Amino acid sequence: MLGAEVAERFRPREETPLSILAHDAAGALVGGLNGSTHWGWLYIRQFWVAEGERGRGLGRRLLSEAEAKARARGCVGVYLDTFSPEATAFYEQCGFLRVGAIENFPPGHARTFLRKGLASIPPA
């Protein structure tokens, strides 16, 4: 019922999954992300780069590919959240802006929400 009410008020989500995987020369999985596009935005649900691959540009390449796919789907932005201060700093270096946080979630930490515009975002 709630889904129908939201669709009636805001239009259907028209959610489409998006996944990108990265493999090394031997074929081992070394990174990837998944999420979905809906209402003109890409939501990155999960993003991972193997520890040994970090700092080599793979994360930036994955985000860049995701942004290109989102643009091709007509998206105006990307949003995600993280519990990691290091990941927050990485996303900010990639052009994301903090838009909020829930402190002490999980206990002793914070869940940070970020967004990045891909095009002009029309006013609400």
The total number of structural domains in the chain stands at 1
23: in domain: yes
- Choose the weakest-confidence range: 5-9, 33-37, 44-48, 120-124: 120-124
* Enclosing domain of residue 78: 15-117
Please report, for the domain that includes residue 84, its CATH number.
3.40.630.30
Containing 37, the helix (H) or strand (E) segment is strand 29-38
5: in domain: no
- Contact criterion met (CB below 8 Å) for 15 and 38: yes
3: in domain: no
59: in domain: yes
Residue 50 to residue 26: CA distance in whole angstroms = 14
Look over the chain and give the mean of its residue pLDDT values, rounded to a whole number: 92
- pLDDT at site 98: 98
pLDDT at position 122 over 70: no
24: in domain: yes
7: in domain: no
- pLDDT at site 13: 73
Q: What is the pLDDT of residues 52-96, one digit of tens each?
A: 999 999 999 999 999 999 999 999 999 999 999 999 999 999 999
- pLDDT at site 74: 94
124: in domain: no
